[in-house]
Structure 1
Amino acid sequence: MRGLSFEIPNRYGQYLLDILNAFDFKNYFWKTGGEEAYYIENDQLGSPLFPKPHVYTGDAFYKRISESDYYVLFADLKAFPDPLHVRDFTTYEDFLNSQCEFVLLLVDCSYVTIYAKDPQVLTLLYEQAIASKYENVAYITDDNDSRTTFEIF
């Protein structure tokens, strides 16, 4: 198993928190970059959820995704156990050779792709996606992975 894919509803909420609550995501440093996501203010898109590429502590990342509703158009989130080894990469092989433990890509407001090195985390995320009634939940394997890069644009 490489990862997991599924579809979330195309509306605002706290979907990143719902997805990530399946495991202890606050133990990581989260690299953001290339997101287009906004807090909802007065039922409209407001300030950016992630104003610029940044590395957040787990607690700071939790605060951003749990304090208010938001709408995510695109997201590229990567989790590292140590901030000293945070780096960019674009392929699955680069992911395997990096210190990154977890990648969450969200495209077109609904399409979520997750890669994780820990199979137990993938199982927890799968169960969370099913319990949340997300659509088209499926494991990504060596045989069915059509993604050639980890880029969202």
Structure 2
Amino acid sequence: MNKENKRKLETLLKKVANQWGFEVCRLNIQTNQNPIVIETFIKKTNGEDISLDDCAIFNTPAYDEIEKSNLLNCSYVLEISSQGVSDELTSERDFKTFKGFPVNVELNQKNSKIKFLNGLLYEKSKDYLAINIKGKIKKIPFDEVLRISLCTLKD
């Protein structure tokens, strides 16, 4: 499959997903498989969790549109999946859910001498992230934070 057809396929699947209240997070096309495998990872646009039924619901219209498009002239397997659970904290819901959990905070090297901090997630405001490091609360301005992810604490 050439790059142009891959781009067209991705655009097509994003359009179909949008019509059904989904968003395509990632598309992997495994052309080294026979038949090729089209892995489509979706999430709901309203932020709710994806269920197995949601994947099944999206499968039929996605398959129908691929068939109508004539982009593929070979046999293929269409797999619809949720994006799964990520260890990266991004949404307000993530920060509320994982308050008190161990996190790894990757810092912007331009603004900080330290690259990583480990601690317990304490608080997130619009301006800063607070983590508990061995009983002391450290407030980190968000312009210094690159990534916040769940981890296991290191002594």
The two structures share one fold, judged by TM-score above 0.5? no
| More contact order relative to length (CA 8 Å, sep ≥ 6) | 1
The two structures have a TM-score, normalised by structure 1, of 0.26
Q: Which structure's CA Rg is the greater one?
A: 2
